[in-house]
Chain A
Amino acid sequence: MTDKVIALSGTAGHGRLGMAAADRSRVMRRIASKATSLVIFVALLTFILLSHTPLRDMRWGVIPAYHDFLIRSLAMSWIVTLVSFLLSTPAAIILAFGRLSRHRWLRYPSMAVVEGVRIIPELMIIFWIFFTAPVVIGQSLDKFTSGIIALGVINAAYLTEAIRAGIQSVPSGLSLAGLGSGLKKWQVRLWIVLPIALWNMLPELRNRIISLFKLTSLLYLIGVREFFGALININNREFAPFATMIIAGVVYFACAYVFEVCSRFLEPRHTG
């Protein structure tokens, strides 16, 4: 027993080469498992798809034929995503501070807004903005604007919860220190609590952007020219459900995945 412990600590302490070899074999095993299961997974998906309709009947020709249209509409999806995200983030920050406020007249209304939006389906909110805002305001909004407003409202509500959690995760000692050094309350919030909270929740912000991007697929219902709407258009004209819907799945997956990997790469490493 003692020999074993000594031998182990020996490898850990001095034999860097031995550890590296063990590490390498573990990494190799991980890669092998990942690759094998990826092959199995893709093969399964392909089998399920092809067992229904053979590849040549899927009408893949429509995708290159409309590639220009598709790329433009994909850009539109990203524009809608980013614009509505940027516009709704300040609102979410204000709502989050409202939800955490000491004053009831601030806390209850912001809670009502956030919970109200979170409890109804996203589709209903899109309709709310598109069909009812013109009636109430008295003028009609164009599709693009109402799409952005709808997604912005949805994002603001969900982001508020995330920011609230982020704010609560900031140690209270920091704001006390800020107050102690003579800053006003709003200065402490703006310059101390908020930056740390946002910094801590970068992964959550990334998740919000990805789900907002997936949500743009619903805007085809009010006629925004985004990616999914473009594919539905093509499908209506050419009837190629397999090609269009498989491409939709692949592209949404790829965009979300690439975005996630890239932003993970840019994010600071959280250690400890």
Chain B
Amino acid sequence: MSYRFDWSVIWTYKGLLLSGLVGTVEVFLPAAALSIAGGILIGTAKASRLEILRDLAGYYVQTFRNIPGVVILFFLYFAYKLNPYTAAVVGLGIHHSAYMAEVTQAGIRSCASSLRPTALASGFTSFGAYRYVILPVAFRVMLPPLATQMLELLKNTSLAMTISFAELTFSVNIMTDETFRGFESATAGTLLYAALALVLVAVLNRIETRLKVRI
């Protein structure tokens, strides 16, 4: 192994790395909101008692789970000519809403059969039972798998670099191209992703403890 490490490049390129980090967060937050909102909508349809809604949602999930995220991003960017940022947010939102729909559906299924009759009997309307009784409970049930999905989404924000949006992987790539220090730049990128993931896990854990119902 004749390779000589030079870790100073990380310090030299700290501005680029930080702007990449900011880019990643900028894609992640709206895409997460979009995928959770879409996932709850479609997951609810998938857990509904209307057969046709269930099937429609099933087709949506099946379709977008089986298409690679990068294809959706390329389609939005090249065919629909969205700008890179919008394409990344919308594409990742669509891709992950399919996974979130599965999570939501499982959450609703796990509690609806016992809660729904109770809520209806105590005078809730069908929508009220869903909105005020089933959904709050289901949301708590689905928090752990939701956290997994959010970590997946955080990792998949790196797909945005394929349509030339400047996020963290993009910065690492530029750094490698300019310095030929692939090992060092990849290490820096990896550590930053790990840090982001740890922050995300901490935030989600906090939400989980906050929402926990104390009896």
Contacts and interface: CB of A to CB of B under 8 A. Distances in A.
Given A235-B78, A252-B66, A119 B169 contact: no
Given A124-B158, A135-B3, A221-B162, A253 B182 contact: no
Contact of B71 (A120, A138, A210, A245): A245
Contact of A253 (B3, B66, B151, B197): B66
For the complex of A and B, 8 pairs with smallest distance between CB atoms: A131-B182, A241-B78, A37-B55, A121-B158, A256-B66, A245-B75, A241-B79, A121-B155
Interface residues of A, number: 45
Interface in B77-125: 78-80
B71 A128 contact: no
A173 interface: no
A33 B71 contact: no
Interface in B161-199: 161-162, 169, 172-173, 176, 182-183, 186, 189-190, 193-194, 197
Given A124-B169, A124-B190, A241-B79, A136 B183 contact: yes
Contacts of A52: 79-80
A246 B56 CA distance: 20
Contacts of B19: none
Contacts of B51: 29-30, 33
Interface of A: 29-30, 33-34, 36-38, 40-41, 45, 52-53, 119-124, 127-128, 131-132, 135-138, 210, 214-215, 217-218, 221, 228, 232, 235, 241-242, 245-246, 248-249, 252-253, 256-257
B183 A124 contact: no
Contacts of A137: 1
Query: A interface, by DSSP: helix, strand, loop or mixed?
Result: helix
Interface of B: 1-3, 51-52, 55-56, 58-60, 62-63, 66-68, 70-72, 74-75, 78-80, 151, 155-159, 161-162, 169, 172-173, 176, 182-183, 186, 189-190, 193-194, 197
16 contacts: A37-B59, A41-B60, A52-B80, A120-B189, A123-B161, A124-B172, A124-B190, A228-B68, A228-B70, A235-B78, A245-B75, A252-B66, A252-B71, A253-B63, A253-B66, A256-B66
A228 B59 contact: no
Given A30-B51, A252-B68, A253-B66, A120 B155 contact: yes
Nearest to B51: A33
Contacts of A29: 51
* Listed residue (B62, B161, B186, B189) with the most chain A CB atoms within 10 angstroms of its CB: B186
Given A41-B59, A221-B162, A36 B52 contact: yes
A38 B58 CA distance: 10
B189 A124 contact: yes
B55 A33 contact: yes
Contacts of B59: 37-38, 41
